[in-house]
Amino acid sequence: MGHTDTQFDEMLAGLDQARPPYEGYYDWFCGEDLKGLRRKSAEAEAFFRRIGITFNVYGQEEADERLIPFDIVPRIISAREWAKLERGIEQRVRAINAFLHDIYHRQEILRAGRIPQHIIAGNDAFLPQMIGVNPPGGVYTHIVGVDLVRTGEDEFFVLEDNARTPSGVSYMLENRETMVQMFPELFTQLNVRPVSSYPQLLRRSLSDCAPQNSPNGKPVVAVLTPGIHNSAYFEHAFLADRMGAELVEAHDLRIEDGRVAMRTTQGYQPIDVIYRRVDDDYLDPLTFNPESLLGVPGIMDVYRAGNVTLANAPGTGIADDKALYSYMPDIIEFYTGEKAILPNVPTWRCSEPDALAYVLEHLPELVVKEVHGSGGYGMLVGPVASKKEIAAFEKKLRAKPSNYIAQPTLSLSTVPILTKAGLAPRHVDLRPFVLVSPNRIDMTPGGLTRVALKKGSLVVNSSQGGGTKDTWVLGD
């Protein structure tokens, strides 16, 4: 395998020598016939086509719905590695919840000068409408997806915290079902921890966050989707189905006697918990964007009165805003009294003159991101950009420095994928999914591994040609 020394390969420690988590799998793999594996690969693709897991790509007329490519070589994480990630992510999620409560109440962290006022004050993700609101059970981020990258044996970094509406969990579940169907013997042999209980845990976690005064014995949970044209609609329908919850759109809901009620064949029925996959801005045309047709007029009044749970809470976006990202280590220390277990990627805030000067000088070796951008658009990846692209980006950066942050180009770890010629290394990231309820935090052992399918590419976004792998966490 053409392999540079700078990149950490998670599977192979050297030529034909597997790292410990992969030993059992690699022995098995070496005994398999490449043709047979390629046949399985085609089978997996046919399976995904049949169940119709697709996602829409915006702005590409001809490729309205694409299949996310799936690679059959799993990504394997040892029990010890996972235990560390679990501790680090749990610490982070607790800090994020404490921060959100503080920022919408006493704002101690601002008074203490640990975060500059302007990061919150001028920020669209901060919702003044949430000031003083207490979400049921004190939970703001019911579902969190933390994006991690790895650069070495014990080196994991958090790339971003998805605290608004993290997506991708349906791929985690479907990838696993596919692999179990194709290689059942491997799962027992290698003691791979299951992920299939996620929908039940999600249901329980959401139910535990229901308003205290709910008259329903068993909380009624619904998933609110913007509708079939949304790129993650498959996932909304999938999760509602697996949880045994109703899938609703705004026009199915109305406010009745101070509760949110959904239309059923037996008339309107009150709902306790809404797992919403609609952005803040569209949630309530009376409170936010008046043009929104995806929202429910008056839902925020019901929420403020404590008569419905919205998961995640409105206004959580301030916690995963890229402008705030570089302060996460301070946030963790401020609310937990501990140093962050999982480090951030070193970050230059271009709003600060010294940082800007450094970034302008080193553009060819840095990754520069828009503070409010998402999905890999509006960013510069210095090492692969042309002189012309760098010059154009420099203009944008000088014009509005506070709009950008910069980070070093990390040497991301690789995991091999199956190609025509055998194994070939490709860069990966990892999004574990975390469920938060008033008395517990659950983390599914695994998560979504996204893989850059183009050789040498660092972009793992599915909207830009990335694929996925099944993620195996081994039991002790």
Q: Is residue 355 assigned to a domain? A: yes
> Is 415 found in the same domain as 393?
no
168 and 21 in a single domain? The answer is yes
Structure tokens at 29: 């793999």
Task: Examine residue 161 and state whether it is found in any structural domain, yes or no.
Answer: yes
Residue 190, domain member (yes or no): yes
pLDDT for residue 216: 61
Q: Which domain holds residue 397?
A: 348-408
For residue 196, the cross-strand partners are none
Last residue of a domain, one of 359, 387, 408: 408
Mean pLDDT of 173-180: 94
> Rounded to 5 degrees, what angle do the CA atoms 59, 62, 68 make?
80
> Three-class SS of residue 394?
helix
Enumerate long-range contacts of 12-19, CB under 8 Å, 24 or more apart: 12/416
What are 121's two structure tokens?
């004050």
Q: Are the C-beta atoms of 350 and 404 separated by less than 8 Å? A: yes
Residue 242 in domain:
no
Report the b/e string of 410-420 with b at 16+ CB within 10 A.
bbbbbbbbbee
Number of domains in the chain: 2
Same domain? For 76 and 43 the reply is yes
Residues 439 and 375 in one domain: no
* Rounded mean pLDDT, 337-359: 96
Mean local confidence (pLDDT), 375-384: 79
pLDDT at 373 (0 to 100): 61
Q: Is residue 51 part of a domain?
A: yes
Return the pLDDT at 3: 39
Q: What is the pLDDT of residue 4?
A: 44
- Tell me the average pLDDT across 328-357: 96
Shared domain check, 423 and 332: yes
Does a structural domain hold residue 4?
A: no
Q: How confident is the model at residue 68 (pLDDT cuts 50, 70, 90)?
A: confident
Residue 426 and residue 404 in one domain: no
Q: For residues 357 and 214, which has the higher predicted lDDT (pLDDT)?
A: 357
* DSSP string covering 218-286: S--EEEE---TTSTTHHHHHHHHHHHT-EEE-GGGEEEETTEEEEEETTEEEEESEEEE-S-HHHH-TT
Confidence label for 463 from pLDDT (cuts 50, 70 and 90) = low
At which residue do the structure tokens 């008074």 appear?
111
Q: What is the pLDDT of residues 245-269, one digit of tens each?
A: 999 999 999 999 999 999 999 999 9
Instruction: Please tell me which of 3-7, 330-334, 348-352 the model is most confident about, judged by mean pLDDT.
Output: 330-334
Q: Which of 380, 408, 436 is the C-terminal boundary of a domain?
A: 408
Q: Which two tokens stand for residue 275?
A: 């797992």
Cα atoms in the Cβ-side hemisphere of radius 13 Å centred on 209: 32
pLDDT value at residue 456 = 76
- pLDDT for the residue 54: 55
In this structure, is residue 139 part of a structural domain? yes
pLDDT at site 466: 82
pLDDT at 1: 34
| Beta-carbon count within 10 A of 152 CB | 10
Q: Is the pLDDT of residue 321 over 70?
A: yes
Q: Are residues 358 and 464 part of one domain?
A: no
Residues 77 and 97 in one domain: yes
87 and 187 within one domain: yes
**356 in the same domain as 467:** no
Q: Is 63 a residue whose pLDDT tops 50? A: no
Q: Own/partner pairs for 195-199, CB < 8 Å, 24+ apart? A: 195/444, 195/445, 195/446, 197/444, 198/169, 198/172, 198/173, 198/433, 198/444, 199/173, 199/239, 199/242, 199/243
**Is the model's pLDDT at 80 over the cut of 60?**
yes
CATH number at residue 386: 3.30.1490.270
- Mean pLDDT computed over 312-322: 94
104 alpha-carbon distance from chain centroid: 23
For the chain, give the percent of residues with pLDDT over 90: 76
Average pLDDT of the segment spanning 14-39: 94
Q: What are phi and psi of 329, to 5 degrees?
A: -60, -40
Whole-model pTM?
0.92
pLDDT greater than 60 at residue 398:
yes
Within a domain: 390: yes
Confidence of residue 58 (pLDDT cuts 50, 70, 90): very low
Kindly state whether residues 444 and 461 are assigned to the same domain: yes
Closest CA to 142 of 85, 99, 93, 104: 93
Q: 3-class SS at 87?
A: helix
Q: What is the mean pLDDT of residues 427-452?
A: 96
Top pLDDT among 415 and 217 is at: 415
User: Residue 348, SS3?
Assistant: strand
Six token digits for residue 169:
């969990």
Residue 337 has pLDDT above 80, yes or no: yes
Q: Is the pLDDT of residue 299 over 70?
A: yes
State whether 156 and 44 are in the same domain: yes
Helix/strand/coil percentages in the chain, nearest 5: 35, 25, 40
User: What confidence score (pLDDT) does residue 60 get?
Assistant: 45
CB 21 within 8 A of CB 413: no
Among 378, 408, 438, give the residue marking a domain's end: 408
pLDDT band at residue 462, thresholds of 50, 70 and 90?
low
- pLDDT band at 61, cuts 50/70/90? very low
